[in-house]
Amino acid sequence: MKHELEFHADALPGHVNPDDEAERLPINYVQLAIRFKWWLLCGLAVGAVLGHLAYTKAGPEYEAVGSMLVSRKYMPPVRESERMLQDTGKPSEHIPLIVSPMIAEKAIRIGQLQDLPTFRGEPDIVEAVLEGLKAKRIAGQDRSHFNVIEIRYACRIAADAHKVVESIIAGYAEYLGEQSLEHSREVLNLAQKATAELRTQIDLKEDAYHDFLQTVPEEYRSALGPKMPNAVTTNIAPEDVIHALGEERNRNRIRQAELNSRQKSIETALAAGDPRDAIEQEVRRFMSADGRSERNSRSTEISAYQQLLIPLLLREQDLSRDFGKDHPELISVRQSITKIVETYRKLGVQLPEGVEVPASERTVAIDYIGMYRDSLKRQIHELELKDRELASLIKQEGSRSSEFSRYRATDQELRAGLTQLQELWKKRMDREGEVVIEKDTSGYTMKTLAPVKEALVMKRLMKFYAGGSLFGMFVVAIVVLVRELRDLTLKDVKDVRVTLKQPVLGSVIAFQVPADNRPNLPHPALRYLLAPHSVEAENYRSIRTAMLVTAEQAAARTILVSSPEPGDGKTTLVSNLAIAVAQSGKRVLLIDADLRRPNVHTLFRVAQEIGLTEVLTGEIDALNAVRPTVINGLSLMTAGHPPANPAELLSSPRLQQLLRTLRDEFDFIFIDAPPLLAVSDPCILARQTDGLLIVTRINKNTRGAAVRVRDLVRDQGIRVLGAIANGAAPGQAYYGEYLNTEPDSVGTVSSQTPQLTSV
């Protein structure tokens, strides 16, 4: 039963579409490395051997390692800003110091390194030591108290490396001790010198101050100088006196103004004729105010009788008017007046006229208002005299104040300078004491954590092996790359598509043709017939599918098959393709038009004598030259006897008539033509066919040959249906998951159409 295939152009593989890429793809280095992996591995092995030989000649290298703990000494509780001895050799500076020429020179002196075999003949031993010396801090930070530092030195003699590391550690320990002692001694000397100089300045300053005090008058001397907490001031500064006099003068003027205002008030009332009772009442108010402000004082005689006598006299007058002369309270008031008058007389106080008369004998009334007016006049006069005296005193004290100010300014300046020097001297003494404390606690101490050990440097060995291996691989890679650049053959299917600029309809993997030891059966190269479940048979099915779709779109029924050069496998491909198309239910005719080197009859085990040559020469009818084959739907026309002029024979009009006759009898006609670049026969045949299939062989055809084929078909105007790649790598065309792995029977030829798988 025949199964008709359905073809869809949009379901074709991507490689059937044309590609206008460059003629040559860039090199894929990964794929190139995979292809030549064994070459690279051989180069790696050879390079490793060369590296081993170089290491043996250069000799081994040994590295000595030692570690030491560098820690700060105990520091007293003094703030960092107040420390006199700053730490020398901060942790971040240890590494540069260790690898410095200074420490190297100490190490050479301590360990006598110049006598070691490693440094014999060296012009500069310090440079030689530093060349192989390495120092690294493996614990601690820039400001930490503890730092662990690792010292390494590498050379060819293990004992010498050990000696160098020990000497470097000893040299750095000596440096830390010297640096701490030298720094503390220097700072202490500077501090003592500065303190002594400051003490000399203080003594000179004190002498100058004492000389100054001798020039100050005695009345000012106690007001100058520092004020001690329990000191008694015997003199008052002129400024204080002036201030006190000014305040007293202000109080005197205020009192004078107040009394003037009272005097004017009483005189105004008398001039206006006010009643005496009202004026006397005003006098009582004035005296009452004086009593509140001047009670408990005995400054003048006037204030005395104002405070005591006049109020009693006024009270006596009121009681006499209201109750009569025999009233008990009146008698008591008069007795008080008599006692006061007697007391004032004994004190020598001058009283107004009429007051001194005893009350029991007085017959004349007392003028209290006049008495108060007289008292006011005397007080005002006294206040004026006092004001003039105070003004004179203030003027006198002003001149004394100017003189005192000059003395005081000089005193303050001298005492300020002396105080500043004394405070600075005290601080210097404190700092000097701190230096004495800090000198034993400043700097660093060093302790060896572990004994120095030496070991073989494996890195050096690995460098030789790695360098040799890389060198070997590099040389092989260069050779492979040069070979790849010089190799102009087509490498893969994509290379074929890019170079020909044609769609690739499919590819056939490279396969080995079994030995031809059964002449009665078709040739083993017909894999589609003899091994229908093989990978190559599946490749032919894929090509058949793509070709049928392309032929349907191009309305091509007569298809010419050729290749760039001989040996590209075009005959094997066209034979298998014809079988595949015939088994899909098509009527197919395969014509061997390679009249120079025919091979189709060999593959199908038929005679060559009657074929295309005889038809074109008119010796036999076309249909009589067609032979059936063991494959249903497939017929064959061999090449016939080789003619003397194949190109002229193919150019005859009979070929066109032959193809027109055969087109009516078959669905597809496949013509096996000679190589395109070998002869001109394919170009002659291409004019009589519907399209050309170009068969290339990967890793055989060069890009130049493919380019010439491309130019040839373009110049001749040949219609190309596509290209097919022979000899592809297994990974480029493999459908193993769809295949039956059971071996086919070579002697069995199936007449049924095989089931197509997914393409």
Instruction: Output the pLDDT for position 563.
Output: 92
Rounded mean pLDDT of 733-737?
A: 38
Q: Among 365-379, 410-424, 623-637, which range has the highest average pLDDT? A: 623-637
Instruction: Output the pLDDT for position 350.
Output: 55
Q: Are strands 146-155 and 62-72 parallel, antiparallel or unpaired?
A: antiparallel
Q: Comparing 129-143, 587-601, 638-652, which segment has the lowest mean pLDDT?
A: 129-143
Confidence of residue 755 (pLDDT cuts 50, 70, 90): very low
Q: Among 195-204, 209-218, 238-247, 425-434, which range has the highest average pLDDT? A: 195-204
Q: 7 near 551, Cβ under 8 Å?
A: no
3-state secondary structure of 571: helix
Domains within the chain, CATH numbers bracketed: 29-56+459-486 (no CATH), 58-191+436-456 (3.30.70), 238-411 (no CATH), 491-503+539-727 (3.40.50.300)
pLDDT higher than threshold 90 for residue 574: yes
Bigger pLDDT: 390 or 625?
625
Cα 471 to chain centroid, rounded: 38
Q: Tell me the pTM.
A: 0.46
pLDDT tens digits along 317-360:
777 777 776 777 777 777 777 777 776 665 555 555 555 445 44
pLDDT higher than threshold 70 for residue 756: no
Note the helical H segments in 215-308: 218-221, 238-271, 276-294, 301-307
Instruction: Output the pLDDT for position 572.
Output: 92
Confidence of residue 460 (pLDDT cuts 50, 70, 90): confident
Provide the residue type at 16 as one letter. V
Confidence of residue 434 (pLDDT cuts 50, 70, 90): low
Instruction: Output the pLDDT for position 753.
Output: 34
Bigger pLDDT: 53 or 317?
53
Confidence of residue 180 (pLDDT cuts 50, 70, 90): low
3-state secondary structure of 533: coil
Query: Phi, psi (5° rounding) for residue 224?
Result: -100, 180
Q: 64 near 165, Cβ under 8 Å?
A: yes
Q: 665 near 611, Cβ under 8 Å?
A: no
pLDDT higher than threshold 50 for residue 596: yes
pLDDT higher than threshold 50 for residue 388: yes
* Alpha-carbon span 454 to 567, nearest angstrom: 69
pLDDT higher than threshold 90 for residue 548: yes
Which residue do the tokens 């009657």 mark?
610
Bigger pLDDT: 429 or 626?
626
Query: Phi, psi (5° rounding) for residue 22?
Result: -65, 165
Provide the residue type at 349 as one letter. V
* Alpha-carbon span 206 to 209, nearest angstrom: 5
How many other C-beta atoms are found inside a 10 Å radius of the C-beta of residue 149? 23
Using a pLDDT cut of 90, give the percent of the chain over it: 14
Rounded mean pLDDT of 297-307?
A: 50
Instruction: Output the pLDDT for position 117.
Output: 86
Rounded mean pLDDT of 659-674?
A: 92
Rounded mean pLDDT of 572-592?
A: 93
Give the chain's radius of gyration (CA, Å).
69
Instruction: Output the pLDDT for position 319.
Output: 75
Instruction: Output the pLDDT for position 759.
Output: 26
Q: 672 near 603, Cβ under 8 Å?
A: no
Confidence of residue 303 (pLDDT cuts 50, 70, 90): low
Instruction: Output the pLDDT for position 25.
Output: 55
Q: Comparing 81-90, 133-142, 282-291, 710-719, which segment has the lowest mean pLDDT?
A: 81-90
Q: 40 near 470, Cβ under 8 Å?
A: no
